[in-house]
Amino acid sequence: MSLDMFFKPRSIAVIGASNHPLSIANRIVTNLMENGFKGPIHPVHHRNPVVKNIPAHKSIEDVPGEVDLAHIIVRNSMVPDQVRACGNKGVKGVIVNASGFREIGGDGIELEKELQAAGKEAGVRIWGPNCQGCMSSDPQWPLYSNFTFAKMQPGHISICAQGGGVAELINNHLAEIGVGFRMYASNGNACDVSIPEIIAYWNEDPETRCIVLHAESFADPKELLRVLEGVKKPVLALKSGVTEVGARAVASHTGGLMEGDTSTDLIFDKAGVLRFRSAEELCEAAAAFATQTPPKGKRVAMLTNTGSLAIMAADEGVPRGIEMPDPADATKEALKKALMGIASLHNPVDMMATAGAEHFGAAADALLADDNFDLLLITMVTPFFVDTEAVAEAIVEASKKHDKPLIMEVLTNQRWASTLDILRKAGIPTYYFPESAARAVSALCRYADIQRRPPAVEPERFDVDAAAAKAALSRATDEGWLEADAATALLRAYGIPFVEERRAQTVDAAVAAAADLGYPVVLKGEAASLVHKSDAGAVKVGLADEGALRAAADEMVSTVGAEGLGFLVQQQVDGGVELLVGATHVTGLGPSVAFGLGGIFVEVLRDVRFGLAPLSKVDAEQVVRSIKGFAMLEGARGQKPVALDSVIEVVQRVGQLVADHPEIRELDLNPVIASDKGALAVDVRVKV
């Protein structure tokens, strides 16, 4: 639905507008006036006949003519009545700046429900309550419906933030570094107009090139994911409130590994949103996205007149995924002709401090033209002995000839303000620190990676034995844990490979089972009290013959105790990487698969990513590849690479299982042992 009434209102009323300069309502009237709002502004106040030299009205219903938008800044308990009055007047939207609603708990929650209902009944869309408001820098509809101070400067970034402070922090900083904004939204409690709705609106706004999103919590994660997946422009996001670890004390690994922030990562990963850990880093990147067309790939050319700064940029960028190949031979030839003999023609191309406009221009042109590169980063100092304005002009000229991004780091001061001005006016983002520029470049490259992801497809279904799965799922203890053989039966029903095993009550029976399976074997103890078996001495691996098996069994009985102890004999799975494939319900999103490095140190490694179930092959592969330790699967330290397709298939089958059976609350395959031959689970726990 259109949000034009908030971003392009033709007339605005400010209900509660007083003449007190230190009041919110007064500031809103002032901001609207000072920032060029083109339509009528109508102060509404029960006493004041005039506010800021504008005739005021006693009630919204007394205002002449049509009113598109009204701010409401009155005592909380009076807000619903004002909304009803706005409905009578035909006002289309209200911004409730007043606070004292859901955020105060208790009566506030009830009052917010009343407000919501009043809006619905009166046909008035509500922004807020407890919010700042919105802004638009559209020259046709300049709108400063907000009480803060960031400079209004037209640009292409649209900023949506739940926290008003963060919205202002980002907007104000961007203004300070000369980057304008397109639209701005801070909608507080969001009782009606939601963040996904605002994002969807901006997706349709041609002047918005990049969307910045800040959130502390997601009211409707599924809806947010749905909308974000449809956004066709870069979304740069910051989520705060991430350190609160989910307070669930669970026996399964997967549950314990899910932090309060899992749903955020899941949504952002799936929708291809770029996540940042600080407002500063986000602003650095936003400045680049606002001015540059995103690159096609992540191969970065660096050009410098101060080698040490380029090296710092490379050190920051390479671990973040940028690639720095050498220039093509033809480019090297061109550089050799154009530059002085002392120049270094590798990447970074170092022209030395004496390089002038002709050198910068020719080198930038050659590097931007080179098919080996997707973007160019220039780090430069402004020397006294060079005409730096001419340098800037030459760089701008070169950049105009190509549609690859160009980012600059300029070590300078106020003396060279005019040089910087030339670059900024041409829309070339400039940074003071080489690391800042490199981080912005890395963000552009991350986006290129996202753009090149294969398109999302419907998850394919594997044939499964539904009846067997149903029977297995009915065999749970009072606490919900599936009996051990029921858990393996469930896996079998879904074609999830599990090691060959036999159960035995006595040592002699275990010996017979081992003979059947073939040595070497693994002996495990099973008892109601055993959760993490190896911690209790109930896992004995690498048993090569009957003697070793009997000795291991005797030792296990003496450490664990014979009471209620049963034996499990498994084939020994050799070599490979231990992985965790788990499943859990992620708040607001539903059944999800966890994947990471597994084994008994899984809680120490904490290298786990989540994917929403069910997963297509593309989804599953993306989750698998996104763990930090992915190199372990590619064959670290002379190991053979693991059979990635088998691993991906296990992830997919587990995804199908938990999507089909949401009654599964926790599932843990730890470890799944992956080698070049395949992937095989050797330990399972399932809770329903």
Question: Tokens representing 544?
Answer: 């090569």
Q: Which does 499 bind (CB under 5 to 8 A by kind): ligand ADP, Mg ion, none?
A: ligand ADP
Is residue 506 within 8 A of residue 513, CB to CB? The reply is: no
533 scored as a contact of ligand ADP (CB under 6 A): yes
Residue with Cβ nearer ligand ADP (46 or 606): 606
Q: Which does 316 bind (CB under 5 to 8 A by kind): Mg ion, ligand ADP, none?
A: none
Listed ranges 14-22, 94-102, 269-277, 670-678: which one lies at the site for Mg ion (CB under 5 A): 670-678
Binding partner at 345 among Mg ion, ligand ADP, none, C-beta below 5 to 8 Å by kind: none
Site string for ligand ADP, 503-532 (x = CB under 6 A): -------------------x-x-------x
Select 316 or 683, whichever has its Cβ closest to Mg ion: 683
Q: Is 501 in the site for Mg ion (CB under 5 A)?
A: no
Least separation in angstroms between residue 666's CB and ligand ADP is 14
Q: Minimum distance between the CB of residue 247 and ligand ADP, rounded to whole angstroms? A: 23
Question: Dihedral (C-alpha) 610, 616, 621, 622: value to the nearest 10 degrees?
Answer: -60
Contact call for residue 252 and Mg ion (CB under 5 A): no
Closest approach of ligand ADP to the CB of residue 132, in Å: 50
Q: What are phi and psi for residue 459, nearest 5 degrees? A: -60, 130
* 671 in contact with ligand ADP (CB under 6 A): yes
Of 188 and 599, CB closest to ligand ADP: 599
Beta strand 430-431 with 521-526 is: unpaired
182: Cβ contacts below 8 Å, ≥ 6 apart:
136, 137, 138, 154, 155, 156, 157, 158, 202, 205, 207, 208, 209
For the window 629-668, what string marks contact with Mg ion as x by the rule CB under 5 A? ----------------------------------------
Smallest gap from Cβ 670 to Mg ion, in A, equals: 4
**Per-residue interface string for the shown chain with ligand ADP, residues 541-580, x marking contact by CB under 6 A:** x----------------------------x-xx----x--
Q: Are 612 and 590 in contact (CB under 8 A)?
A: yes
Restricting to residues 339-398, name those near ligand ADP by CB under 6 A: none
Nearest CA among 69, 25, 79, 77 for reference residue 47: 25
Q: 369, 499, 512, 605: which one contacts ligand ADP (CB under 6 A)?
A: 499
The two tokens of residue 192 are 């009606």
Give the angle 660-665-667 at the CA atoms, nearest 5°.
Answer: 85
| Residue 546: CB minimum distance to Mg ion, A | 26
When the beta carbons of 523 and 615 are compared against ligand ADP, the nearer one is 523
- The residue among 499 and 507 lying less far from ligand ADP, judged by its C-beta, is 499
Binding to Mg ion by residue 578, rule CB under 5 A?
Answer: no
Q: Please identify, using beta-carbon distances, which residue of 520 and 590 lies nearer to ligand ADP.
A: 520
Please name the residue that has the structure tokens 């599924």.
Answer: 222
Interface residue with Mg ion among 76, 130, 670, 675 (CB under 5 A) is: 670
Q: Supply φ then ψ for residue 500, to 5 degrees.
A: -65, 135
Closest CA to 377 of 424, 308, 430: 430
Contacts of ligand ADP in 595-634 (CB under 6 A): 599-600
- Tell me the closest approach of the beta carbon of residue 534 to ligand ADP, in angstroms: 3
Q: What is the DSSP string of 234-268?
A: -EEEEE-----------SSHHHHH--TTHHHHHHH
> Residue 666 interacts with ligand ADP (CB under 6 A)?
no
* Footprint on residues 249-308 left by ligand ADP (CB under 6 A): none
Q: How far apart, in whole angstroms, are the C-alpha atoms of residue 604 and residue 629?
A: 13
**Least distance to ligand ADP from the beta carbon of 160, Å?**
44
DSSP assignment letter at 233 = S
Q: How far is the CB of 600 from ligand ADP (least distance, A)?
A: 5
Q: Among candidates 523, 489, 485, 521, which has minimal Cα distance to 506?
A: 523
Handedness of CA 457, 463, 464, 465 (dihedral sign): positive
Kindly indicate which of the ranges 19-27, 379-387, 502-510, 677-685 contains the residues binding Mg ion, using the contact rule CB under 5 A: 677-685
- List the single partner that 541 binds among Mg ion, ligand ADP, none, CB under 5 to 8 Å by kind: ligand ADP
Please report whether residue 539 would count as binding ligand ADP according to CB under 6 A.
Answer: yes
Residue with Cβ nearer ligand ADP (432 or 601):
601
State phi, psi for 385 to the nearest 5 degrees: -95, 15
Distance CA 498, CA 686 (A): 14
Residue closer to ligand ADP (CB basis): 239 or 524: 524
Tell the smallest beta-carbon distance from residue 256 to Mg ion (Å): 13
What is the SS3 assignment for 480? Answer: coil
Contact 142, 35 (CB under 8 A): yes
Contact 643, 676 (CB under 8 A): yes
Q: Which of 279, 329, 649 is closest to 464 using CA atoms?
A: 649
| Closest CB 250 distance from Mg ion, rounded Å | 14
Specify whether the CB–CB gap between 656 and 462 falls below 8 A.
Answer: yes
Query: How many CB atoms neighbour CB 216 within 10 A?
Result: 13
> Going along 400-558, which residue ranges are E strands?
406-411, 430-431, 501-504, 521-526, 539-543
Which residues, 6+ apart, have CB-to-CB distance to 499 below 8 Å? 570, 571, 573, 680, 681, 682
From CA 408, how far away is CA 304, in angstroms rounded? Answer: 10
Helix (H, G, I), strand (E, B), or coil: what is residue 589? coil
Query: Site size for ligand ADP, by CB under 6 A?
Result: 18
Minimum distance, C-beta of residue 571 to ligand ADP, in the bound complex (Å): 6
Residue number with CB closer to ligand ADP (454 or 518): 518
- Min. distance of Cβ 531 from Mg ion in angstroms? 10
Is 191 or 647 the residue whose CB approaches ligand ADP more closely? 647
Query: At closest approach, how far in Å is the CB of 528 from ligand ADP?
Result: 14
115 vs 573 by CB, closer to ligand ADP: 573
Q: From the list ligand ADP, Mg ion, none, pick the one residue 513 interacts with, judged by a Cβ distance below 5 to 8 Å according to partner type.
A: none
CA angle 614–618–620, rounded 5-degree value: 50
CB-based closest residue to Mg ion: 683
The DSSP letter of residue 384 is T
683, 684, 686, 688: which one contacts Mg ion (CB under 5 A)?
683
CB of 305 to ligand ADP, least distance (A): 55
Query: 578 touches which of ligand ADP, Mg ion, none (CB within 5 to 8 A by kind)?
Result: ligand ADP
- Other Cβ atoms less than 10 A from the Cβ of 59: the count is 15
- Which residues of this protein are in contact with ligand ADP, per CB under 6 A? 499, 522, 524, 532-534, 539, 541, 570, 572-573, 578, 599-600, 670-671, 682-683
Instruction: Please give the residue ranges that form the binding site for Mg ion (CB under 5 A).
Output: 670, 683
